[in-house]
Amino acid sequence: MIESHLPAYIALTFVLFSVLIPAFGLWRSELSHPIAVLGGGIAAGFSLFGFIDVINDGSIRYFFGGWEPPVGIEFVYDGLSAFFVLVINVVAFFVLIHSHHISKREFPGKEMPYYSLAMLMMLGFNGMIMTGDLFNLYVFLEIASLAGYALIAIGDRPAPYAAFRYLIIGTAGGTLYLLGVGFMYTVTGTLNIIDMAAMLPMLYESNAVFAALILMIVGIGVKAALFPMHGWLPDSYTYASSSSTALIAPIGTKVAAYILFRIILWLFGIEITDAVAPISYFVGVLACIGILYGSIMAIAQSEMKRMLAYSSISQIGYIIMGLSLANPWGFAGALLHVLNHAIMKACLFMISGQLRLKEGHSDISRFDDGYRKKYPWTMAYFTIAAISMIGLPPLAGFFSKWYLALGTIDNSNWLFLAVILISSLLNAVYFFRVLEKVYMMDPSKGQKEPTDAKRDEASASMLWPTGILAVSLIVIGFANAVIVGVLLDIFPM
Amino acid sequence: MLDFFFGHYAYWFVIILLCIGAYGILFKKNLIKKTIGLAILQISVVLYFVSIASKWDATVTVMDPDIPLDQVANYLNPLPHTLMLTAIVVGVATLGVAFTLLIAIYNRYETLDEEELIDKIQ
Amino acid sequence: MDLSLVPLLAVLVSLIAVVPILLSSTKPNLREFWTILAAAIKFGLVLLLLPGALEGESVELHLVDLAPGLPLALKADPLGVFFAVIASGLWIFTSFYSIGYVRGAGEHKQTRYFASFAVCLSATIGIAFSANLLTFILFYEMLTVATYPLVIHNEKKEAVDAGRKYLAFTLTAGLLLVAASAMVYHYTGTIDFTPGGVFDGVELPHTAMLVLFIMFLGAVGVKAGIMPIHGWLPAAMAAPTPVSALLHAVAVVKSGVFAVLRVVGYVFGTDVMGDYNLNDILIILAGTTIILASLIAFNQDNLKRRLAYSTVGHLSYIVLGIALLTPIGMTGGIMHIAAHATMKITLFFCAGAIYVNLHRTEISNLNGIAKVMPWTMGSFAIGSMGLAGIPPINGFFSKWNLALGSLEGDMIIPVIVLVVSGLLNVGYFFPILYRAYFKPGEGLKKYGEASPLMVVPIVITAALSVLFGLFPNLFFNFFDLAVDISSTLFNNGSP
């Protein structure tokens, strides 16, 4: 019987632990971390179990209080939501393990509120993904966002300002989304996604539907950092504490991208989306500009966290571009990239956190070849993640680009294909720049002898999560045919 | 043409509020004023939801013996209003977080003017 | 005997050897033992496949699916075995030579050096045995990445710049290959290497085919050093000499021409190439490259750079042979893969021996060195005469076939190109020999011949060049193999 209640269990786990952590944390502050890890682990376990169940037995619709929609609110746990829930919960679990030492160092004494907020944010993200109701989605969006603002505000000196900017633009985005929902409600009289989708073909080419679509895409685009609505992201990710960034960066924008998937492919369907104007193409073009812009800006940065933040803007572009292609290959490529990018970015941000912990900074121009000796494993994991980001086989990153390329070719969309190729090169520029610094002497600084350094590797609680994520990139690379087979089944058309 | 304007005056009111809010967010340099703009933006959407559910000569959604259930048109649709209760709570929470952040910013930089703040950060 | 796992083992053996190499970084002798052991095993495994290849048989192995319907598949067909024999055979000599070289020159980070070398060889054999484009891309990119640490090995400014240039060229090429393969998959539904091509029954507009071919050309032309995208190769001479010898004369660049052969013969197919006049592009580019590279080689005073430009020119011989689209021309091109490999590796070995022994890199400083390094310079003489096409060294034999091939195709210009470039080869190699043998040298009294670890491989490769020139079918039946391969490409799959 457990299967039919799974969606609720996942959300309730986070609710429970967000309360448990203050309860125990007030007594013993150092208990916050293990409890949070336990919560994350339980949720990850549920999501894994649920994903397998959904793949085998089909989707689960969970009606809260037994009220069926349109009266009640439901959680829809189908292939897409199960996949996203699995990705974010598993990645979050590893990030939570990893954050132990960083949280102690970067915000001593505040572990309890930090982990409690992290649980609340995860609740919001999971709720956004699973809910089948557009207004409920807004509420979960705000829960996740409010917790997220607070998490970002914990960090460097300018962090509150970065969080405030994010709050203003994020809430404005959320409000626009809500207005879009209002339009949809006025024309359809329901808030349930499945009900609404059934009614929409009668409203083909309706202006209200068109306006609602634009409002929703813009509103959620802010959260997904879709170009040109990405302005909040670089500062937030740079100034927030390393553990907050590692938690939010791989997950936050993905969840927003999920909503775009849900809205464009499930709720509206690609035909209604493109009925009045070729919206999906515009979204794709924006994604392309974002890909190039993010990559170029990443090259210009010397702070590693900021570089990775710009790289996130670029990578979210891949996902949304795959969505805009609206064909099976593009879809599979985008979803595979959700998985890959979540893992790669988590791994890279965790490594930047480790470097900050050990060196006190993560400024690439001050990296030297001593890192290779000091942190051999960290740097090996960094190399794997970086090469995967560049997209070289057999690492996972290559395959998402391969499917995306197939998707663009299927649509004869040569512009998008060219963007994918060019941006891979740009990725190579900014990642090899770091690798050069770490693995080689620096002749431009007149360095003749290798830097002498003793081994000073990060502790196991940081090394293992990064290591597992890095190795999983290789595994996903070889196993991607299986994953993509599943993903292709999820494709709605 | 005039009908179009006056027939939808509630919506025009919402649109004007929306624009005022957006203006405050985009162009005001003081962070408190930005926050106020945000509040106005949120309120405009709340009012939109309230307005779509209201109608003349209809009553609240409590069973009235004078209006039998086959005349449902005489009852208001309660859903948008209840939704807005939640939305208002969300809005208040957002403002709370925003002001908390502003206090933290002010404690660190002793200004809430955006340009001065950016200077001080760099 | 079941051979189906042999291709996989041949690929993996040097990859696995990386682990013990890294673990024994503090014990140089043990570390080098692993390298030699891996090289010997790899060569042995490849030789196991040779008898089958001579019969025209292929050993196929499907591993996991890399993408739905696209397996990671290895297929040791005759062409793959041919290339693998050359690469793995020469690795053995290079390993011995490397030991002498890195110890003699006191190179740093030797563990990284040997480990990267082993990965490169895995990638090369993987390229040789790839059964489809996706597998090919995998190993092609692996080769790119594994070569990078070798190019930047000495970590000086020049090397770092060369490394960046190398990455810029090869990564761009890799991406073009990905895009082009995806397009082939889209149009034909398969990306398996098929003798005679995969476009059977697929009609494409001429421009589409042309664009696709140019994309492939950009992708494989970089590693094959076709002008104007050869720029990385001379720059990459910043690498230690054994790297230049094996990788930039044999493994990497030959992977490039091997890829040209795969693309022409197994993706497009000779018929499609001819029907769409795609081979004309290739002939023009290759012909220009041959002449230009030889002319540029004249101006290089640095020995390795001169050899690099000579390599660029000779790679285009092979490309020319492929582009002629005649069975004899193809045979000549394939033979030249082997011929150029043995000769050029000899020359690079010599350049390295001169550098380690005398610390001289410029040709103008080589006066009289034949007196102190008779064996080295003797081998150098053999190699350079071979490249100039003087019988009986094996360079003559492949050039002869190339010329016959172009006559078979009623083409005169390629023949003229071959003759002129032969003269140019003489022109840029003989001054070196003249200086070494006939000009009086200075400050050479205290020097003798280089260490045996280096001289013995040099002499062996030089001897092989002569032996294969005299008896093309010696040991490995290279000639028969080349004839078989080219005949499968012209009879639409049936040998």
Per DSSP, the residues of B52-63 read HH--TT-B-SS-
Indicate whether C120 belongs to any domain. yes
- First-to-last C-alpha distance (Å) of chain A: 31
Mean pLDDT computed over A435-444: 79
The pLDDT assigned to C491 comes to 63
Q: What is the dihedral of CA A424, A429, A430, A432, to 10 degrees?
A: 110
Closest to C33 in 3D by CA, of C94, C106, C95, C100: C95
The pLDDT assigned to C495 comes to 37
> Residue C494 pLDDT more than 50?
no
As a whole number of angstroms, the longest Cα–Cα distance in chain A is: 74
As a whole number of angstroms, the longest Cα–Cα distance in chain B is: 69
Categorize the per-residue pLDDT at A146 as very low, low, confident or very high, splitting at 50, 70 and 90.
Answer: very high
Q: Which of C8, C66, C166 to mutate to test the interface with A (most CBs of A within 10 A)?
A: C66
- Please give the model's pTM, rounded to 2 decimal places: 0.90
The pLDDT assigned to C1 comes to 58
Whole-angstrom distance, CA of residue C266 vs CA of residue C196: 6
Residue A179: closest C-alpha in chain B: B45
Mean pLDDT computed over A271-278: 84
Buried b vs exposed e over A116-141: b needs ≥16 C-beta within 10 Å? Answer: bbbbbbbbbbbbbbbbbbbbbbbbbb
Mean pLDDT computed over A365-386: 87
Indicate contact of A with C: 3+ CB pairs under 8 A: yes
**pLDDT for A23-53, tens place per residue?**
888 888 888 889 999 999 999 999 999 999 8
Q: Is A182 at the interface with chain B, CB within 8 A? A: yes
Categorize the per-residue pLDDT at B1 as very low, low, confident or very high, splitting at 50, 70 and 90.
Answer: low
> Residue C404 pLDDT more than 90?
no
Domain count, chain A: 1
**pLDDT for C179-225, tens place per residue?**
999 888 888 888 888 887 788 777 788 888 888 888 888 888 888 88
The pLDDT assigned to A311 comes to 93
Taking one residue from A and the other from B, the number of pairs with CB-CB distance under 8 angstroms is 69
Chain C residues closer than 8 Å to A405 by CB? 178-179, 182
Whole-angstrom distance, CA of residue C189 vs CA of residue C183: 9
Indicate whether A436 belongs to any domain. yes
- The neighbour count for residue A472, using CB atoms within 10 Å, is 19
Mean pLDDT computed over C465-470: 81
**pLDDT for B86-105, tens place per residue?**
999 999 999 999 999 999 99
> Residue C413 pLDDT more than 80?
yes
Three-state SS for C73? strand
Indicate whether A114 belongs to any domain. no
Mean pLDDT computed over C278-282: 84
**Which chains border C (3 or more CB–CB pairs < 8 Å)?**
A
- Is there a contact between A480 and C70 if contact means CB atoms under 8 Å apart? no
> Residue C493 pLDDT more than 60?
no
Three-state SS for C39? helix
For residue C217, the distance in angstroms to the closest alpha carbon of chain A comes to 16
Q: Architecture of B2-121 per CATH?
A: Orthogonal Bundle (1.10)
Mean pLDDT computed over A3-10: 84
> Residue C395 pLDDT more than 80?
no
Categorize the per-residue pLDDT at A97 as very low, low, confident or very high, splitting at 50, 70 and 90.
Answer: very high
Percentage of chain A beyond pLDDT 90 is 47
Predicted ipTM of the assembly: 0.92
**pLDDT for A56-67, tens place per residue?**
888 888 888 888
- For helices C303-323 and C394-408, what crossing angle results, to 10°? 40
For residue A415, the distance in angstroms to the closest alpha carbon of chain C comes to 12
Across A254-258, B38-42, C246-250, least confident range: C246-250
Chain A residues closer than 8 Å to B49 by CB? 182
Pair A29, A112: CB distance under 8 Å: yes
> Residue C164 pLDDT more than 60?
yes
The pLDDT assigned to C403 comes to 84
Residue C69: closest C-alpha in chain A: A481
The pLDDT assigned to B19 comes to 93
* C47 or C447, which is more confident: C47
Mean pLDDT computed over B68-83: 80
Mean pLDDT computed over C138-155: 86
Closest to A172 in 3D by CA, of C297, B98, C121: B98
- Is there a contact between A406 and C141 if contact means CB atoms under 8 Å apart? no
* Residue-number span of the structural domain to which A431 is assigned: 316-493
Q: What are phi and psi of A151, to 5 degrees?
A: -65, -40
Q: What are phi and psi of C245, to 5 degrees?
A: -65, -55
Mean pLDDT over the full length of chain A? 89
Indicate whether C495 belongs to any domain. no
Percentage of chain A beyond pLDDT 70 is 99
Closest to C459 in 3D by CA, of C353, C356, C376, C358: C376
**pLDDT for A66-80, tens place per residue?**
888 777 888 888 889
Indicate whether A408 belongs to any domain. yes
Q: Looking at the DSSP assignment, which residues form a beta bridge with residue C70?
A: C67
The continuous run of DSSP H or E covering A74 comes out as strand A74-77
With 0-12 / 13-18 / 19 or more C-beta atoms within 10 angstroms meaning exposed / middle / buried, residue C6 is buried
Chain C residues closer than 8 Å to A392 by CB? 141-142, 144-145, 174
Indicate contact of B with A: 3+ CB pairs under 8 A: yes
Indicate whether C1 belongs to any domain. no
Indicate whether C416 belongs to any domain. yes
Closest to A411 in 3D by CA, of A282, A309, A322: A322
Domain count, chain C: 1
Mean pLDDT computed over A86-99: 93
> Residue A1 pLDDT more than 60?
no
Question: Tokens 């080869």 map to which residue?
Answer: C425
Q: Is A164 at the interface with chain B, CB within 8 A? A: yes
> Residue A362 pLDDT more than 60?
yes
Indicate whether A321 belongs to any domain. yes
Mean pLDDT computed over C313-317: 87
- Is there a contact between B34 and A160 if contact means CB atoms under 8 Å apart? no
* Residue-number span of the structural domain to which C77 is assigned: 6-490
Q: Is A157 at the interface with chain B, CB within 8 A? A: yes
- Is there a contact between B102 and A168 if contact means CB atoms under 8 Å apart? no
> Residue C477 pLDDT more than 90?
no
The pLDDT assigned to C367 comes to 79
Categorize the per-residue pLDDT at A2 as very low, low, confident or very high, splitting at 50, 70 and 90.
Answer: low
Taking one residue from A and the other from C, the number of pairs with CB-CB distance under 8 angstroms is 81
- Is there a contact between A450 and C176 if contact means CB atoms under 8 Å apart? no
Closest to C218 in 3D by CA, of C273, C155, C263: C263
> Residue C88 pLDDT more than 70?
yes
**pLDDT for B37-73, tens place per residue?**
999 999 999 999 888 887 777 777 777 777 777 777 7
The continuous run of DSSP H or E covering C119 comes out as helix C110-129
Indicate whether C92 belongs to any domain. yes
